[in-house]
Amino acid sequence: MGEAGPIRTIGQLAEAGGVGVQTVRYYERRRLLLPTSRLPSGYRLYGAEALQRLRFIRNAQALGFTLREIEGLLNLRVSSAARCDEVQQAAQAKLVTVEAKIRDLEALARVLRTFIRSCRAGRPTEHCPILASLESPTLESNSKSNGGKSKKSNGGRGGKGRAKENQRRHKSGG
Amino acid sequence: MGEAGPIRTIGQLAEAGGVGVQTVRYYERRRLLLPTSRLPSGYRLYGAEALQRLRFIRNAQALGFTLREIEGLLNLRVSSAARCDEVQQAAQAKLVTVEAKIRDLEALARVLRTFIRSCRAGRPTEHCPILASLESPTLESNSKSNGGKSKKSNGGRGGKGRAKENQRRHKSGG
DNA sequence: CTTGACCCTGTACCTTGGTAGAGGGTGTAG
DNA sequence: CTACACCCTCTACCAAGGTACAGGGTCAAG
């Protein structure tokens, strides 16, 4: 308000927001943070609201939102009033995925602890029980709750949608 | 043993391992899974140990190991005997990073829950408390334990190592 | 020999969130 | 006018773990 004025160049904005200049331009490419105006030379100028927006982006990122999701939140913010419940729902949805990820990781941690104990038990290490376990057809404790996005919306690779090269035809007893 | 024999083409191996053909070739590029032999035509052939190795890779991935780490585990496996403690240490290290990630996510979940409650409290939604919070200079609860790799080993973007374009010089009260 | 499924190599593309550099223009102090 | 920090656009690159496609060769059945 009273120390440098609200109009900043990209370098000043980046500094104030704790990001790099390239990052600000990257956000612009992603249409998350447009410059308030431009000099005739093309220099970007940012007002105080741009810094607010930049902080919004960084904070939301710290909460685990992706830039795509943040774009949605910012659009909600533009259309003001009574949209608060949508924001709340977004936060709720994010919480659900975060909790799912926590559960996955805890299941993972349990398996790892089991493995570690199986070694600590003082067996002769000639046949490492961990390495042996890793060769089993499928690992026990597959309690993946899929708390995120799957890689390809394909969902399980046994489908018929294989494009050109993937599966064999019939030769099961050749 | 009695149904198809241990020698397989890449398609059969991929099928048995639950991955795509391209993925097997990708593992080969990464030197994780070499074909047992080749036909004169260049066709890859895989023995039973290749399937074991493929399962090893997939299981270790499911435990959160990266392909790079798996490469290390596989090399340990080659040099047998008395290396079990190295495997155990790898598992232990992985457990530490998994636990750190869990802590981060739990901190995140707490913030999200706080936000969600701040809305549920029945305030007039005209000024959404979540969106307002997201505009604060820095979010509270920055207890990141950094239990993984940082993006760039840069560690804080206020350093002097900015290559060519990033920071302003002196103009703070211009 | 033809067909069709399968295989080969090589290369490009995908996602996410940026970084890095080339090549050149601008703002301003001295 | 010179210098220099800063800015511009555009393009390429990074990790990680694949996926996809082009263009062509092979295997086995019919």
Summarize the confidence of residues B140-166 as an average pLDDT.
Answer: 39
What pLDDT score was predicted for residue A80? 59
CATH number at residue A21: 1.10.1660.10
Largest interatomic CA distance in chain B = 83
Mean pLDDT within A145-156: 36
pLDDT in tens, B102-117: 999 999 999 999 988 8
Query: B18 and B59: one domain?
Result: yes
> How many Cα atoms sit within 13 Å of B114 on the Cβ side?
13
Which chain A residues touch B85 with a CB distance below 8 Å? 119, 125
Shared domain check, B55 and B89: no
* Same domain? A14 vs A55: yes
Nucleotide nearest to B44 (CA to C1'): C7
On whether both A16 and A56 belong to a single domain, the answer is: yes
How many Å apart are CA A34 and CA A125, to the nearest integer? 61
Residues B60 and B94 grouped into a single domain: no
Assigned domain for A170 exists: no
Is-contact A67 B146, C-beta < 8 A? no
Establish if B144 belongs to a structural domain.
no
What is the percent of chain B where pLDDT is above 90? Answer: 50
Q: Report which residue type is found at A98.
A: V
Does any domain span residue B124? yes
- Do B92 and B58 fall into the same domain? no
Structure tokens given for B121: 């409290």
Does residue B100 lie within any of the structural domains?
Answer: yes
For the stretch B14-23, pLDDT in tens is 999 999 999 9
Taking the alpha carbons at both ends of chain B, their separation in whole angstroms is 81
Same domain, B91 and B56: no
pLDDT higher than 80, residue A18: yes
| Arithmetic mean of pLDDT, B137-152 | 48
B128 closest CB neighbour out of A9, A84, A125? A84
A85 with B119: Cβ contact below 8 A: yes
Asked if the model's pLDDT at residue A58 lies above 90, the reply is yes
What lies within 8 Å, CB to CB, of A92 at 6+ separation is B112, B116
Lowest mean pLDDT among A42-56, A100-114, B41-55, B120-134: B120-134
**Helix locations, chain A, DSSP H:** 10-17, 21-29, 48-62, 67-78, 84-120, 129-133
Residue B60 lies in a domain: yes
**The pLDDT value given to residue B152:** 33
**Is residue B117 in some structural domain?**
yes
Residue B94 within a domain:
yes
- Other Cβ atoms within 10 Å of B70 Cβ, number: 22
Question: How many independent structural domains does chain A possess?
Answer: 2
The residue that leads in pLDDT, A68 or A162, is A68
A143 or A41: which carries more pLDDT confidence? A41
pLDDT (0 to 100) of residue A25: 97
Q: Which tokens is B164 given?
A: 């060519």
Rounded Cα gap, residues A91 and B110, in angstroms: 11
- Tokens encoding A105: 């990781």
Same-domain status, A91 and A49: no
Evaluate if residue A3 carries a pLDDT over 80. no
Q: Are residues A59 and A15 in the same domain?
A: yes
The whole-number average pLDDT for the span A43-50 is: 96
Q: How confident is the model at residue A44 (pLDDT cuts 50, 70, 90)?
A: very high
Please report whether residue B156 resides in a domain. no
Q: State the best of A21, A33, A53, A131 to mutate against chain B, taking most chain B CBs within 10 Å.
A: A131
Query: With contacts defined as CB-CB under 8 Å, which chain A residues touch B12?
Result: 168
For A63-102, the pLDDT digits (tens) are 889 999 999 989 887 765 567 888 888 999 999 999 999 9
Q: What share of chain A is helix, strand, coil (3-state, %, to 5)?
A: 50, 5, 45
ipTM score = 0.77
Range of the domain at A31: 10-63
